[in-house]
């Protein structure tokens, strides 16, 4: 099991959520603007993946597993990167 690192957390109050880009069985992806990524306080266009309120614990665990894997892969031009 991969460890969880809180450095990948981003404050919700620094996100402005927009329209839905896509959805699946247990989640959706929305367009958003993130404020204060990195060292600058500029606005950055991002996509936010989130669970639907009706998601079960297994689906929540699947999303957490995906996030842990992505965090360990690090930055790559051909992979959606974490904030």
Binding residue positions for ATP: 49
Q: What is d(CA 83, CA 68) in angstroms, rounded to the nearest whole number?
A: 13
Known binding site: residues? 49
Round to whole Å and give the CA distance between 25 and 32: 21
What is the C-alpha to C-alpha distance for residues 37 and 4, in angstroms, rounded to an integer? 20
């Amino acid at each position: 099991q991969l460890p969880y690192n809180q450095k990948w957390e981003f404050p919700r109050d620094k996100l402005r959520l927009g329209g839905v880009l896509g959805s699946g069985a247990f989640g959706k992806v929305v367009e958003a603007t993130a404020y204060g990524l990195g060292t600058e306080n500029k606005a950055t266009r991002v996509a936010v993946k989130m669970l639907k309120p009706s998601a079960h614990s297994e689906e929540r665990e699947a999303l957490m597993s995906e996030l842990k894997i992505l965090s360990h892969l690090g930055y790559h031009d051909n992979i959606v990167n974490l904030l």
